[in-house]
Amino acid sequence: MKTLFNAALALGLAATPAAAAELTVVTAGDQNMVEYVSEYLGPLFEKENPGAKVRVVGTGPGDAGSQKILERFEAQAKAGSAKWDVDVAVVHEKFAGPMVEAGYLEAYRDKIPSGKLVTRGNADMALGTRVSGYVMPMFNSQTALAYNPNLLANPPKSYAELAEWAKANPKQFGYNGIKGGASGVSFVMGWIYAFGEGDAGKLQNGPFEEAETKKWDKALASLKDFTRHATLTPGNAGTLDLLSRGEIAMGPVWVDMFYSWQADGRLPPDLKLILPEPGMPGQPMHYVVPAKSPNRELAEKFVAMATSPKVQAEGIVKRFNWYPGIDAQHVQAELDDATWNKLFKDITPEDLAKNGKPFPIAPYNNAILEAYERQVSN
């Protein structure tokens, strides 16, 4: 109520700048991301930094959530605001590149102690754009196929087996196309990796060549046929919803979302995950700090804390069962074996190393999506 009256008093006046020690974190992602920052990271940070106060705004799940953060930055840049109203943002990998290219971000990774604990390539390159220094991964997410062992005892272990099984069991496989969220997109990318005639490595690492985009026609034709035998689901959450109702036996999901749904009692506990050959994409969520953050030092401190081995262990792995953002060995050292092994209940570290792929670089990514729009859904 107090802010209400303050704001009412400011009627007609310019926006009151946030108090010096108020740290604003804007996060894309589901409500559990918002709660993670406000209920876990917030109190922890406030205890370590007396006088600071963390407040958090959620912008919604999926690319749409990150897009809104990008647009917010763009609006402030174009309006020429000297100080922005965001200190730390959490965005999907895909949006880190455009933010760096537009010059919205501050390079802070080398300034914080945990910066050295990240060696994985996706902290340096984001879909083909160099983002080294500008981002710290909050966690790594992976798409995989979730299945219901009661309906499907021996799940297909590769895309090739899946194509056969889905044909023999019509409507038992469900995915959300490409317009309803990234789990469907990821399934499509995996399909191109598996059946495209080009080089999957080139799609993931570049360089972009126009000729490469001509090599997917066959794969897309077979995907169109496959989709006819599949159930289309309404969105990432829709796939999980239909899995939980037993209407489909298998479908692509984000591993982090899968565990959250299970923890919140919306998915039967006996559902399982499998990461099929030759692999499906995953992506990190990144912490970024706008160059015009009003509390830059505090923002850096916040990310440093959030990416420290202890917080990654307690917050990301133990609390959510998500894959950590910084290198695994630093996090594993903080945890007992049972907690650590829970991460790999269905998907082993070896599977993950072999079949956990990045998304194609941005130009291929767009070209595949557009080809899908023209050839599969049209």
Partner 1 sequence: MTSLATTTPATGRRLPRIDLWWLPRGLVLGLLAFIIFGPLTNLVLWTVAERWYFPHALPLEYGFSYWQRVFSPRGNAMESLANSVFVATLTVIAALALAVPAGYALARLKLPLRSLILIAFLIPQAFPNLPVYVNIARLFYGLGLNGTIPGVVLVHVTHGLVYAVWIATAAFSAVDRELEEAARSIGASALRAFRDVTLPLAAPGLMASAIFVFLESLDEFTGSFFVGAPDVNLLPLLLYTAGAGGNYQIASITALLLLVPSIAFMLVVERFLKADVLSRVGH
Partner 2 sequence: MSKRLLGLILVLPALATITLLFIVPLGASVVGAFEVEGRYGLGNFDKAFALYSQDILFTVVIVSLSTAIIGLVAIAIGGYLTLGENPHAVAVLRWLYRWPLFIPFIVVGQVLRTFLAKNGMMNNTLVSLGILTPLETTSFLDWRGIVIAFVWKQAPFVALLVSGAMASLDRGTIEAARNLGASRLRILIEIVVPQVATTLIVGLVLSFVTMMSVLSVPLMINAQSPTMITADIAFRLNAYRDYGVANALGLISLLITASIAWIYLRHNVRSRA
For the window 93-122, what string marks contact with partner 2 as x by the rule CB under 8 A? -----x------------------------
Q: Which is nearer to partner 1, 63 or 225 (CB)?
A: 63
Q: Which does 347 bind (CB under 5 to 8 A by kind): partner 1, partner 2, none?
A: none
H/E stretch holding 146: strand 136-147
Q: Which does 374 bind (CB under 5 to 8 A by kind): partner 2, partner 1, none?
A: partner 2
Q: How far apart are CA 198 and CA 195, in angstroms?
A: 9
Smallest gap from Cβ 140 to partner 2, in A, equals: 21
- Using an 8 Å Cβ cutoff, are 361 and 208 in contact? yes
- Using an 8 Å Cβ cutoff, are 290 and 73 in contact? yes
- Using an 8 Å Cβ cutoff, are 136 and 118 in contact? yes
Q: How far apart are CA 269 and CA 261, in angstroms?
A: 10
Residue 161 interacts with partner 2 (CB under 8 A): yes or no: no
Smallest gap from Cβ 48 to partner 2, in A, equals: 36
Burial 218-240 (b: 16+ CB within 10 A, else e): ebbeebeebbebbbbbebbbbbb
Q: Which residues bind partner 1 (CB under 8 A)?
A: 1, 3-4, 7-8, 10-16, 18, 24, 26, 29-32, 34-35, 38-39, 42-43, 55, 57-62, 64-65, 68, 71-72, 74-76, 78-81, 85-86, 235-238, 240-241, 244-247, 257, 261, 264-268
Query: Both tokens of residue 91?
Result: 């965005």
Q: How far apart are CA 98 and CA 299, in angstroms?
A: 21
Q: Which does 78 bind (CB under 5 to 8 A by kind): partner 2, partner 1, none?
A: partner 1
Q: Which is nearer to partner 1, 294 or 360 (CB)?
A: 294
- Compute how many other C-beta atoms are within 10 angstroms of the C-beta atom of residue 198: 18
Q: Which is nearer to partner 2, 225 or 314 (CB)?
A: 225
- DSSP letters of 257-294? HHHHHHHTTSS-TT-EEE--BT-EEEEEEEEE-BTT-T
Q: Which does 231 bind (CB under 5 to 8 A by kind): partner 1, partner 2, none?
A: partner 2
Which residues are at the interface with partner 2 (CB under 8 A)?
62-64, 67, 70, 98, 176-180, 185, 231-235, 237-238, 241-242, 245-247, 366, 369-370, 373-374, 377-378
